[in-house]
Structure 1
């Protein structure tokens, strides 16, 4: 899904647009399977009761509430979280109802690094850490292909000439 062009400045182009890694959805999908399994099991248990219809309604309502809370909300949170690198800046946007965002001009980035543990390496994601000249380091978790994103961001910063720009590796 492309980032809306009307939110970019003149001459700015999207270089990279990613959602968090799919590993963020493992627990919500597991919750969905458990909710469905327990709901079916509960419906089978109460089918011979005289008040089975009421029990089914209660089971269905409970399953619906749990599905919204444990699956739909995390899925929408994942879907509405964006990590974008453009020719001018790095942007992060997230939120369903209340949207938050941060923009870091490429000229302000002083260093970029990444971290990923064993599980992250197996599934192909990691944490991207961006240090800018004015703020504490910003960490972006669960970035897919974090090493490639790191390299791409490094190239974008170094390929864009700025007057007061420091290279990512600390050399002028």
Structure 2
């Protein structure tokens, strides 16, 4: 899904648009599978009881609440989190009902670093660290293809420097 063009300024184009890495969805998927499996097991266990109808309703209600809270909410949160690098800035947007975001102009980016653990290298993600002219460095966790994003971001900041090919 491309980043909405109406949120970009004139002459700005998207270089990279990513959601957090899919590894953030492993626990919600596991919770979904365990909840459905446990619910089916409990429903079969009480099926011979005289109060089975009430138990099935209770199992279904608890199952739906757990699936919405521990699976659907993290999925929507993942889907509505955007990490975007444009030709002029780095944008991060998070949230569904209440949104929050940060924009870092390319001219204010001092350095770009990345790091990843062995597992993150296998999965193809990592943490991107951007130092700007402001306070502490900003860390963006679970960025897919972090080395490629790092290289593209470095290229965009280098192109904005005097003597670069932009400006």
The CA distance in 1 between the partners of 2:49 and 2:81, in whole Å, is: 46
Q: What's the CA shift string for 1:86-110, capped at 9, x where partnerless?
A: 0100000001211100000000000
The CA distance in 2 between the partners of 1:3 and 1:108, in whole Å, is: 22
Q: How many angstroms does 1:162 deviate by?
A: 5.6
Match of 1:168 in 2: none
The CA distance in 1 between the partners of 2:97 and 2:35, in whole Å, is: 25
TM-score normalised by structure 1 residue count:
0.93
Unmatched segments (≥5 aa) in structure 1: 166-172
The answer on whether the counterparts of 1:89 and 1:103 sit within 8 Å (CA) in structure 2 is yes
Q: How many angstroms does 1:159 deviate by?
A: 1.1
Q: How many angstroms does 1:134 deviate by?
A: 1.7
The CA distance in 1 between the partners of 2:36 and 2:112, in whole Å, is: 43
Cα RMSD, aligned residues only: 1.3
Match of 1:51 in 2: 51
Unmatched segments (≥5 aa) in structure 2: none
The CA distance in 2 between the partners of 1:141 and 1:162, in whole Å, is: 31
Match of 1:6 in 2: 6
The answer on whether the counterparts of 1:107 and 1:162 sit within 8 Å (CA) in structure 2 is no
The CA distance in 1 between the partners of 2:115 and 2:99, in whole Å, is: 26
Q: What's the CA shift string for 1:1-50, capped at 9, x where partnerless?
A: 00001111111111110000000000000000000010000100010010
Match of 1:64 in 2: 64
Q: How many angstroms does 1:135 deviate by?
A: 2.3
After superposition, residues 123-142 of structure 1 pair within 5 angstroms as 123-142=123-142
SS at match of 2:93: strand
Aligned length: 164
Which stretches of structure 1, 4 residues or more, deviate above 4 A after TM superposition? none
SS at match of 1:102: strand
